[in-house]
Structures are given as structure tokens and as C-alpha cells.
């Protein structure tokens, strides 16, 4: 719903967001009031101690003040429970109640000061119990006041005061075109600056140069554009996500059509090819995981890693010229050695250097597979996050292959950095001088997987036999023409409902519209949605059947937005309101659709509980298409399915299962022969 407007500005909180925090404060205030009432009743007539007169007045006024606050909170919670997310009409009196509640903070603050003065007065000679209770009351008052101030800061919208930009279509049509253009430019400029300040604040701990400043502006523009056409507060998004998750689970529990099941039955030739690629992927995923260095090693071996790494730190290491960047105490290199099982002499080059668009990587000889492996690290620092979020598109022109194709800008710059190091610094020449008969394999996970894919495209002409394994790469990476081209030499591996593999600007736009649609058409109050959603996520159960305005509508009507949806999408925030009058439901996409690289192996859980606590997990794998990843799926595992240890576990499980099957078949054949 539109953000609450009080004190002449919009806030990042809805009028239906006071139910749960208000009920909690109401519970605390009731206990508090009962305790003070009991204290007053017990000591009534015994306030003759020095300072007792002030104590009597303090308790009496505090009881009246708490009673007034309890009444105001009760009314606030009751009104906030009315209506639905897209129907705030029954809550129209809430701003007045909110003003009343905030006004009561003034006497509460004054009385908290009076109580603090009384407690600290050395001349007071009343019972110790009474003094302790008053001290607890004073502390509780200050805690509530401080938390209220923190809450106000959190829900403060820096753009909420731009009331002059909150123009209806009729008003905007009366503006001169030059005035409206200037007004729109000012709104966009202000919003971009606000986002840029937020990003700078988050990245305050890193050294900032020109590249960072350009990235900040680009990312701020991206966020401003994405959030500019809706008026949803954070709790609306949370409610929308939990509704989408339950709706998605209901659809998944429906039996599949026979044709849908048959289409996933691969031929034996395709199955054999899949088994080979899964075995290779399980092997090379070790290199992709090792690129993370000591954080990954300690994460996967929390009890023994530090002891083992401390034992390695003083051992002999390769010459400093082979390693660039900081590796204090040899922890990174020691972790890479332990994860990969390689020797010191097997490493050609290791770079721990990390800046925006410049990510760590290493080049090593893999004698088991007779390959020169280039392993690129995934996201592990603020600089990497900035590289991820530099999601503008840029052209990538390939000689003798394609006229041009679109690619992710930040990841392409990271790939170009590694390309320059490999070619200009002669790293690959050195590797092939040592092992001329070996093939080139490029691997990476997450950001590293995307970078490895674009790096493979750049090196393809020079090394026609190269292979690339991209584990959980970002979804918005390559245009359709480039994605089809890479199917000859890149294999992407995706586990379950991995968010990052589905993360692209068109998919994010689709998710935004799905959230708006489902929250706008749900006929339940937000607090009920959130409470049931929390229970469902933690304890499971059946998805709730929330009635919606979509129930009973014919199929043709479902293609058009409802009035509530149009309200949330078009009648949007004063801070982000644009001056166009058209609906964004029918507007053309702002971003080109980008795809995953290469052929895609999708690994899913075959038999396990939907909850995190599942212990016995079996996986199945199949070749997939880009259509499977054209929508973001909401799940508790959408983040964990992306983690490198989960990907490695799934690949090892499938590889081990395949080896067991081959062993069983061999024994069966030998028995038949005998």
C-alpha cells in the first residue's frame, strides 16, 4: 500500500504495520501498569520517608500516563488491523491516533527525567525495593523512547518530503512540457543522489577511487529505476514474498501432466554425456571452491581448519613473484593447497589482488585431468559486490564469430582484467610451455562463474579446445546469440532454486509485478499474512488458501491489472512519481533479456523434506533450458542452494551414485559371464 503520510511527508511504513509492534508494546505496557499499580497499592499510606511525597505523585501520574498510552495503543492496533494491503480506507483515522500516541511521548519523556532525578537524589531514604522499581521504570521508559527513535530513523524516507512532485495525471497534463521535464529531471536526480549516498555509506570501509565513483553512480541509477514505479513499503514486499512462496508450493504439489514428465526422459546418449559432464564438474568444482581461500576452508572445516592452517603458515612457499596481492600468514594459499590436493610446484600464478572489476584468480596444472585450470573467485568482498551490481549492458564484439552481443558490464570488465593478465603477462604461455599437451579449462563459482564464462568467450579463438565450467553463474549474463554460441564449450551447473542463477533485471521486474499483483488482490490483513507466513517457513504445514479478488474471474480478465494493482504501480510514491500517465503493466521492458552461459545442468532434490533440517538428500540432474530460469522462485533454500559447499555436495553425491551404478553393472556382467 502507499507509504503512510504524517507530518506532511511519506514514510517507509504502512498504516497496517502497527499491529505486531503495537501489540508487543501494549503487552509490555499492561505488565508495567499492573506492576506499578501493585506497588502503589502495597505502599499506599506509607510514603512518609524522605522524598516519599514526590514518589507518591510520581507513581500516581505514571499510572494515569500509562493508562492513557495503553488506550492510545489499543486504538492504534485495532485500527491498524482493519482493511487489507490495497484497501487502506478503514484505516483512514490512523494518522490522528498516531499523532496522539506520539504526543504522549512528551509527558513520558518528562516523567522519565523526573524519575531519573528522584532515583539519583541521595536525600531519598525510602525502601530499597521501591527505589529499584522506580529505577526499572525509568530504564524501561528510556529504552522504549530510544527504540522509538531508532524506528523513526529506519522508516524515514529521505525523499518523502517531495510533496510537490506527487502529481496526479490531470495536474501533470496541465504543466508546460518544459516545466514537467525539469520537474521529472529533479525528481530522478534527487532519488539517484539518495541511493548513491546510501551505497557510499555501506562501502565507507573501502578505499574509493574514480572506478568506485562511476560504479556508485551506475548502481544508484539502477536502484532508482527499479524502485521508481511502485509504492510498496518493506512489509508489503515481505508479505508478497511469503504469499508467492505458498502459491508456488501449491503449484509444485499438483501432479504433472504426462507430456511434461515424458519431455524430461533423456536418451541414453544424452544421459551418458550428462554423466561425463557431472563427473568433470564435480572435479573442477574443487578448484572453483578453492579460489575462495581460507574463508571457504574454515567455513567447511570449522573445528580443524585453523589448526591445520597454522601448521602450514611457516612452511616453505613458492617465490613471491608467483603470487600477487596480500596473503598474510599464507592462509589463502595453504587453504587452496588443502582443498585442491595439489603441490606447490603445480601452481603457475596466484593473484589475491582485489579491487572493483579486478577479482582474484589462480592458474594451476591439474595432472589428473591433464588440464591447465584457470579458477576465478566468486563474490567475497564489497568490491566484488560492486562488480556484481554494475549490471548495465555493454556490447561484446567477437571477430569472425558474431557481429555483437550484450553482456553484463561489471563482469565483462572483470573478465577483461584477467584476460590482460593471462595474455599480456605471458601466464598462459608459461603454463603451456611446461605442459604443452594439456587442455585449457576455466572454472568459477557465482561471480567467478560469470567471469569465467566471458573470459572463455574471449579466449575461445586462441584456444579452440578450451572448456569452461560455470557453477551457479548470474542469470543476467549474456544475450541470446552469445548464450547459444557458448553451448559448444561452456557448461553451467545450477542447484535447486538458486536465486543468483535467476537474477536478471527482467526477472526482477517480473518478481516486482508478481508481488504487486498478489498483495493487491489478497483479501486478508497484512498481519495475518505475515504471522501465517512465519509459521509456514519455520514449521511447515499446508500453504494457506488466501482468498483473492482473482477468484472467480474469467481467464481474459486475468490479463488486465485490477484497480488495486494500478494504484500500487501507477499512483506511486511522491518521491518517485514520474510524470507519464501510462500504466507500467503494458510498457515495453527497460532492460534486454540476458541468459545463462552454455548448456545448463540443473540439479534438484529428488527425495527430501522441504525444510532445512532434512538429513537424507538425494539429487537428480538433467539438461535444462533457459526457460526454466526465467522466473525467480521463492524458497528458504534460494540462498543456500547457491553456496559453493552445497553445489560441491550435490555434484559429489551424483558422481558417487554414478560410480556405484557402474560398479554394480560390472559385477552383474561378470556374474552373467560366469
3 state SS for 462-483: CCCCCEEEEECCCCCCECHHHH
Beginning with the edge strand found earlier in the chain, give each strand of the sheet holding 618-624 in spatial order.
323-324, 347-351, 361-366, 371-376, 439-445, 467-471, 490-495, 599-607, 618-624
pLDDT at 261: 41
Give the separation between CA 203 and CA 361, rounded to whole angstroms.
23
Q: How many CB atoms lie within 10 A of CB 160?
A: 21
Q: How far apart are the first and last CA of the chain?
A: 75
Is 498 among the catalytic positions? yes
Report CA 178 to chain centroid distance, whole Å. Answer: 39
DSSP 643-662: SHHHHHHHHHHHHHHHHHHH
605: alpha, beta or left? (left if phi > 0; alpha if psi -120 to 50): beta
Alpha helices in 316-472 (DSSP H): 331-340, 382-389, 409-424, 427-434, 447-459
Which position among 275, 498, 544, 641 bears the catalytic label?
Answer: 498
Residue reference for cell 505475515 = 530
pLDDT at 573: 40
Q: Which residues contact 248 (CB under 8 A, 6 or more apart)?
A: 633, 634, 635
pLDDT at 314: 52
Which position among 446, 453, 504, 624 bears the catalytic label?
Answer: 446
Is 446 among the catalytic positions? yes
Parts of the chain with a pLDDT under 70: 1-2, 45-48, 51-52, 123-125, 161-187, 205-209, 254-272, 311-322, 325-329, 398-404, 545-590, 607-616, 661-674
pLDDT at 505: 86
- The residue ranges of every structural domain in the chain are 5-155, 268-308+327-504+597-608+620-636
Cα three-residue angle 104-107-110, rounded to 5 degrees: 145
CATH 3.40.50.1820 fits 268-308+327-504+597-608+620-636, yes or no: yes
pLDDT at 378: 94
Amino acid at each position: 500500500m502507499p507509504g503512510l503520510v504524517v507530518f506532511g511527508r511519506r514514510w517507509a511504513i504502512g498504516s497496517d504495520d502497527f499491529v505486531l509492534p503495537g501489540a508487543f508494546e501494549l503487552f509490555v505496557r499492561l505488565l508495567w501498569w499492573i506492576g506499578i499499580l501493585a506497588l502503589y497499592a502495597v505502599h499506599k499510606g506509607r510514603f512518609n520517608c524522605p522524598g516519599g511525597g514526590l514518589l507518591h505523585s510520581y507513581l500516581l501520574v505514571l499510572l494515569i500516563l500509562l493508562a492513557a498510552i495503553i488506550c492510545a495503543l489499543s486504538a492504534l492496533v485495532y485500527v491498524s488491523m482493519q482493511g487489507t494491503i490495497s484497501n487502506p480506507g478503514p484505516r483512514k483515522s490512523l494518522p490522528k491516533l498516531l499523532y496522539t500516541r506520539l504526543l504522549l511521548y512528551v509527558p513520558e519523556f518528562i516523567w522519565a527525567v523526573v524519575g531519573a532525578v528522584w532515583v539519583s537524589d541521595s536525600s531519598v531514604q525510602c525502601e530499597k525495593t521501591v527505589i529499584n522499581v522506580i529505577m526499572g521504570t525509568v530504564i524501561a521508559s528510556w529504552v522504549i523512547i530510544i527504540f522509538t527513535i531508532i524506528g523513526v530513523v529506519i522508516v524515514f524516507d529521505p525523499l518523502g518530503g517531495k510533496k510537490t512532485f506527487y502529481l496526479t495525471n490531470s495536474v501533470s497534463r496541465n504543466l508546460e512540457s518544459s516545466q514537467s521535464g525539469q520537474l521529472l529531471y529533479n525528481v530522478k536526480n534527487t532519488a539517484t543522489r539518495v541511493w548513491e549516498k546510501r551505497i557510499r555509506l555501506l562501502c565507507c570501509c573501502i578505499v574509493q577511487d574514480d572506478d568506485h565513483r562511476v560504479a556508485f553512480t551506475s548502481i544508484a541509477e539502477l536502484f532508482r529505476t527499479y524502485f521508481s514505479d511502485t509504492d510498496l513499503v518493506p512489509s508489503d514486499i515481505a508479505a508478497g514474498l511469503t504469499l508467492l512462496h505458498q502459491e508456488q508450493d501449491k503449484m509444485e504439489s499438483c501432479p504433472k501432466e504426462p507430456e511434461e514428465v515424458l519431455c524430461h526422459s533423456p536418451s541414453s546418449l544424452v544421459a551418458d554425456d550428462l554423466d561425463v559432464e557431472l563427473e568433470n564438474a564435480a572435479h573442477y568444482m574443487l578448484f572453483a571452491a578453492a579460489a575462495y581461500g581460507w574463508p571457504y576452508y574454515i567455513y567447511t572445516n570449522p573445528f580443524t581448519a585453523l589448526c591445520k592452517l597454522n601448521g602450514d603458515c611457516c612452511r616453505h612457499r613458492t617465490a613471491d613473484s608467483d603470487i600477487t596481492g596480500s596473503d598474510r600468514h599464507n592462509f589463502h594459499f595453504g587453504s587452496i593447497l588443502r582443498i585442491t590436493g595439489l603441490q606447490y610446484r603445480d601452481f603457475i600464478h596466484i593473484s589475491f589482488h582485489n579491487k572493483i572489476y579486478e577479482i582474484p584468480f589462480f592458474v594451476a596444472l591439474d595432472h589428473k585431468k591433464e588440464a591447465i585450470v584457470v579458477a576465478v573467485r566468486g563474490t567475497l568482498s564489497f568490491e566484488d559486490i560492486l562488480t556484481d551490481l554494475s549490471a548495465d549492458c555493454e556490447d561484446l564484439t567477437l571477430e569472425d564469430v558474431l557481429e555483437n552481443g550484450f553482456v553484463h558490464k561489471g563482469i565483462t570488465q572483470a573478465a577483461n582484467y584477467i584476460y590482460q593478465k593471462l595474455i599480456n603477462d605471458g601466464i598462459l604461455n608459461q603454463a603451456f610451455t611446461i605442459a604443452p599437451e594439456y587442455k585449457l579449462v576455466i572454472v568459477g563459482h557465482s561471480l567467478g562463474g560469470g567471469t569465467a564464462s566471458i573470459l572463455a568467450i574471449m579466449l575461445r579463438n586462441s584456444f579452440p579446445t578450451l572448456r569452461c565450467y560455470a557453477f551457479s553463474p548470474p542469470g543476467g549474463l549474456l544475450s541470446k546469440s552469445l548464450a547459444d554460441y557458448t553451448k559448444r564449450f561452456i557448461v553451467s551447473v545450477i542447484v535447486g532454486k538458486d536465486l543468483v542463477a535467476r537474477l536478471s533485471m527482467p526477472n526482477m521486474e517480473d518478481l516486482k509485478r508478481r508481488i504487486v499483483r498478489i498483495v493487491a488482490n489478497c483479501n486478508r490483513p497484512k498481519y495475518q499474512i505475515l504471522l501465517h507466513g512465519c509459521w509456514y517457513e519455520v514449521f511447515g504445514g499446508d500453504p494457506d488458501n488466501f482468498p483473492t479478488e482473482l477468484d472467480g474471474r474469467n481467464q481474459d480478465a486475468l490479463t488486465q491489472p485490477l484497480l488495486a494493482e494500478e494504484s500500487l504501480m501507477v499512483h506511486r510514491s511522491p518521491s518517485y512519481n514520474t510524470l507519464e500517465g501510462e500504466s507500467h503493466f503494458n510498457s515495453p521492458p527497460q532492460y534486454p533479456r540476458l541468459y545463462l552461459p552454455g548448456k545448463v545442468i540443473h540439479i534438484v532434490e529428488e527425495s527430501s523434506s522441504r525444510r532445512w533440517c532434512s538429513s537424507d538428500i538425494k539429487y537428480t540432474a538433467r539438461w535444462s533450458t533457459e526457460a526454466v530460469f526465467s522466473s525467480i522462485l521463492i524458497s528458504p533454500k534460494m540462498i543456500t542452494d547457491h553456496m559453493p559447499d552445497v553445489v560441491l555436495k550435490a555434484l559429489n553425491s551424483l558422481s558417487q551414485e554414478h560410480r556405484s551404478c557402474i560398479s554394480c553393472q560390472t559385477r552383474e556382467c561378470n556374474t552373467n559371464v560366469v
